[in-house]
Structure 1
Amino acid sequence: MTTSDDIRLGGLLWEIDDAAGIVLLRTPYDARRHTETGRSWAGRGYHCLIQDVRGRYLSSGEWDPYQHETIDGAEVIAQLRAHFPGLPLIAFGASYAAHAALEGAYGAMRHEHSAPDGIIVLVPALGLAETAWNPDGAPQIEHRIAWWHEHGIGPRSRKPLPPDELATRVRRTEQIGVISAAREWSWPAAVFERWERLWTATHLSVRTRYAELISPLLVVTGAHDFFDADARRLAASWPSDSHLVTGPWGHRLAADLTDPHTREQLDNSGGIGGIIDGWLRTHTPFAARLGRLEPARYVSAFDPDSGSWQQSRTAA
């Protein structure tokens, strides 16, 4: 695909016969590493496009985190709708890709007047400020240094910082501040400017920014994920129907469950994938909301004591 400013966005496309819809996942972490996800969606009966975002791996342009996903996502959605006319489209993604899904949906509604028919986000990183600060206002210095070193520079991710070097950089920020310390890390000037922007970014107002979106939303979070508060805020503030899924895991979701019994219980319950399948069946394409005055809010929480999902409906 090519954008209006001649940037080529590359990725992998799974196509199947008699597809129920098309799933779009846009990632900065190499589309080729997400083949299992593509096959999974094809197995569910959906075409699936997994695409590298601007400036990463198979895509051209300059990588500038959290800056281009609104317009690029909107243009990709428009091209997919033209290529697969009449098929419902689901925007999907985890972590940064969740940001890309949300912003692409926002851009599609604002610029193309054609938002996705559903949005599924897992452990969402909503924006720059949300990655930089804890809900209590404490800076996420160690996480941000590690992420920007590994993923924030250039078209391909680099090896992680060795633990001792990461610890040294964290101590240095405590001594002279996050901006002054970064001047010692030999980062390109453009990356340093983005690092400065990270620490001055404002928090996203979900209710204001996404006020016009009518797409139903499924949010998967974890009790131990550092973005949990943001995920809950997203689901609670969404202008249309939302469903929040949670459990005793962190940013890696079920992969964080180290207790074999708990993991077996989750698998036997259908897992997070089972919740997604049920949500897809309930939120049929173009589902009418006639007569619905308030959006519906649902929560599914995995209870390791009972080995089952506890379902509830909350106030809008």
Structure 2
Amino acid sequence: MTTTVRIDGLATDVCLPPTPATHPAVVIRTPYDRRHHRAELRGWAARGFAALAQDVRGRHGSPGDWQPYGDHEKKDGETTLHWLRAQPWSNGQVVTAGASYAAYCALAVADLADAVIAAVPALGLAETARERTGPERLQARAGWWSTHGASGDPAPLDHLPVTGILDHPSWRALWRARRRDLPAAEIPLLAVGGTRDPFAGDTVELWRHWPGPARLLLGPWGHRLTAEPAPEARPAHRVDLGALYTGWARAALAGTLAGRTGAVALGGSDHWCPAGHTTLPTRHTFGTGTGPRLVRGAAFVAHPDHPVRSDDLNVSERGVPDRCLLVTPPLARPLDLLGPAEARLDATADAPSADWAVRLVALDPAGRADPLTTGIVRRTRPGPFTVPLGHLARRLPAGTRVRLEVAGHHFPAHARNPHTGEDPVTATRLEPSHRTVRMRGSALCLPVVRGVPHIDPVQEIQT
């Protein structure tokens, strides 16, 4: 049975196991309404955990002003953990858990917990606002803040300045935020993400740099994980996350986990592969027999009034090129990609600040387009540079061609660079930028793997 209590005024649902004893506990602190977690709490309780879900300050049943990513999340989390450990049904062991913003709340008190589950973690204000390479994430941020962080309807995403899209102090403060250091707790971590989730890179980095025992589960999913499977997901990629979480939590609290391991689903196949598998990227130089061949646009114009759109895979071959477009020959056999990819560009722009967006798209034999990955960087100085393309985990069937696009914008997913040298979030004037991509000095580097072992993801996570 679920009961509701107040912890320092914060509305908290508590669900206890049916047996009268002391139990380990799991704590979920969320801005998305604790009541949505009641079935999840019952699942934890049925497996022997006392389970708590709490509305963060200023949200739903909890009074006060909500300040997203504020320092009060750590304070309120600490108060909740102290209260929990003082209860007669607590054995003192606590797992903090959560997805997205709730993962931030879980990590904020990792130093007081015994284990932490961070799913699709939104690691902080600055981390959600910008790519590590500089450009601003626009569409996802405007949607989240207009739903959760502000009131009133937002202006269109092409409104200038970007700071005027939402008339709210927290929205303007978003773009001035600084990145935080990752938590330094040496407790066990389970990091869960989806290859189609915007925070997939942050999930992998959290796992890779966590100082304690760490497990990674990366599936062919979007931000809602198994509730949002990607087209390349297969029946073998269906995972009972509730059972996996509780099994991992028991192993973590028992102290049987060590090292850094995990499982990554190979989309388009029926396989899971070890997360720690590494391979040297295979370099494919532009314009060569095995590399992507130029279709058009070695010289192109990036115009912020007519940006290359993130939500449209159609490519026009008429008029002045708005991107450099290349395509590989059809694959003679299936190709497995597992690991980080990147584009190395020898390119120039006649602007004091220029964004470079690289998008990979898989084209089936009929020409149908399926997005693979996108990377974007901001450059303010000349010289060759690298565009990280994230962590690929895909099997491409024989006959597939890979289309590569090099553009100056990726809008509305990212804010438009105005090409004037002004800050893109405060700029009100836009200028075109002429670009050149040199074929011989540019290459696509793909993590091609062969013979990678196949594993059981549950066994890999829980041992």
Same fold (TM over 0.5): yes
Higher helix proportion (structure 1 or 2): 1
* Residue from 18, 43, 47 that aligns with 1:44: 47
Alignment of 1:75-86 (within 5 A): 75-83=79-87, 84-86=89-91
Which residue of structure 1 aligns with residue 10 of structure 2? 9
Which residue of structure 2 aligns with residue 202 of structure 1? 178
* Residue from 297, 301, 306 that aligns with 2:260: 297
Which residue of structure 2 aligns with residue 137 of structure 1? 134
Deviation (angstroms), 1:215: 1.4
Amino acid at match of 2:33: D
Alignment of 1:155-170 (within 5 A): 169-170=156-157
Deviation (angstroms), 1:284: 2.8
Q: Note if 1:272 corresponds to 2:272.
A: no
Which residue of structure 2 aligns with residue 177 of structure 1? 161
Amino acid at match of 1:264: P
Per-residue deviation, residues 239-286 of structure 1 (Å, max 9, x unmatched): 111111101111011122255x9453233xx4434542442243234x
1: CA distance between counterparts of 2:277 and 2:109?
Answer: 28
Alignment of 1:1-316 (within 5 A): 7-16=8-17, 17=19, 18=21, 20-67=23-70, 68-83=72-87, 84-105=89-110, 109=111, 115-153=112-150, 169-172=156-159, 176-179=160-163, 181-182=164-165, 185=166, 187=167, 192-206=168-182, 210-211=183-184, 213-257=185-229, 259=231, 262=233, 264-267=235-238, 270-285=239-254, 287=255, 296-313=259-276
Deviation (angstroms), 1:91: 0.1
Contact 2:196 2:230 in 1 (8 A): no
Deviation (angstroms), 1:34: 1.6
The alpha-carbon distance between structure 1 residues 288 and 136, as it changes in their structure 2 partners (threshold 3 A), is same
- Where 1:140 maps in the other structure, the secondary structure is coil
2: CA distance between counterparts of 1:307 and 1:82?
Answer: 46
TM-score (normalizing by structure 2): 0.54
Could you say which structure has the larger radius of gyration?
2
Identity of aligned residues (%): 35
The alpha-carbon distance between structure 1 residues 12 and 277, as it changes in their structure 2 partners (threshold 3 A), is closer
1: CA distance between counterparts of 2:230 and 2:186?
Answer: 38
- Where 1:284 maps in the other structure, the secondary structure is helix
The alpha-carbon distance between structure 1 residues 277 and 311, as it changes in their structure 2 partners (threshold 3 A), is farther
The alpha-carbon distance between structure 1 residues 305 and 171, as it changes in their structure 2 partners (threshold 3 A), is closer
The alpha-carbon distance between structure 1 residues 39 and 9, as it changes in their structure 2 partners (threshold 3 A), is same
Deviation (angstroms), 1:121: 0.9
Q: Which moved more, 1:275-284 or 1:47-56?
A: 275-284
Higher strand proportion (structure 1 or 2): 2
The alpha-carbon distance between structure 1 residues 263 and 15, as it changes in their structure 2 partners (threshold 3 A), is farther
Structure 1 unaligned regions, length at least 5? 110-114, 290-294
1: CA distance between counterparts of 2:244 and 2:132?
Answer: 27
The alignment's C-alpha RMSD in Å is 2.5
Aligned length: 270
Q: Which moved more, 1:63-72 or 1:137-146?
A: 137-146
The alpha-carbon distance between structure 1 residues 8 and 102, as it changes in their structure 2 partners (threshold 3 A), is same
